[in-house]
Amino acid sequence: MSPTAVLTPEIPSEAEAVLAKQTKEILAPRIGKNASLDLRAMNFASEPTVKIPASAARLLVQILDEMSRGNAVKIVPVHAELTTQEAADLLNVSRPTLIQMLDQGHIPFRKVGTHRRISFAKAMEYKRKLESDRKAALAELVAYDQEIGL
């Protein structure tokens, strides 16, 4: 993974999950579509108010939502490159399966010496395509079930 990854995944404790939920419930209704969020830390009352851009505030609420569910969160810059193991983990496939997918041209990659590197954006694009294909297949099965009266 690129050294620009900002956050290492860490499973939140139960207390952190509760705090994340409470904080999310306070922040979420206060975030406008394009308005920045002004925050002041009570521990540093003498410090100026901190302005958080609207997009970062929405991301913060998403992080808090995941944490409130007990999920670890990792932030990866869109321009980051993944190792084959990281990409396999992201796509929920084994590393050998990912290598096959790369060799078959399903996901573009580049080589650094003998190592393959996959663009995070391209891996996510492929993941979204897989999810879309799955939804389409499920919709087709549902339609077939309705057609035959199940």
For residue 109, CA distances in Å to 14, 46, 125 come to 39, 50, 13
CATH number at residue 112: 1.10.1660
35-93 pLDDT, tens digit each: 788 877 777 667 788 888 888 888 999 999 999 999 988 887 878 899 999 999 889 99
Expressed as residue numbers, the domain containing 35 is: 14-68
Same domain, 60 and 90: no
21-35 pLDDT, tens digit each: 999 999 888 887 777
Residue 29: inside a domain, yes or no? yes
Same domain, 85 and 58: no
Q: Determine which helix (DSSP H) or strand (DSSP E) holds 148, and give its type and residue range.
A: none
pTM (whole model) above 0.75: no
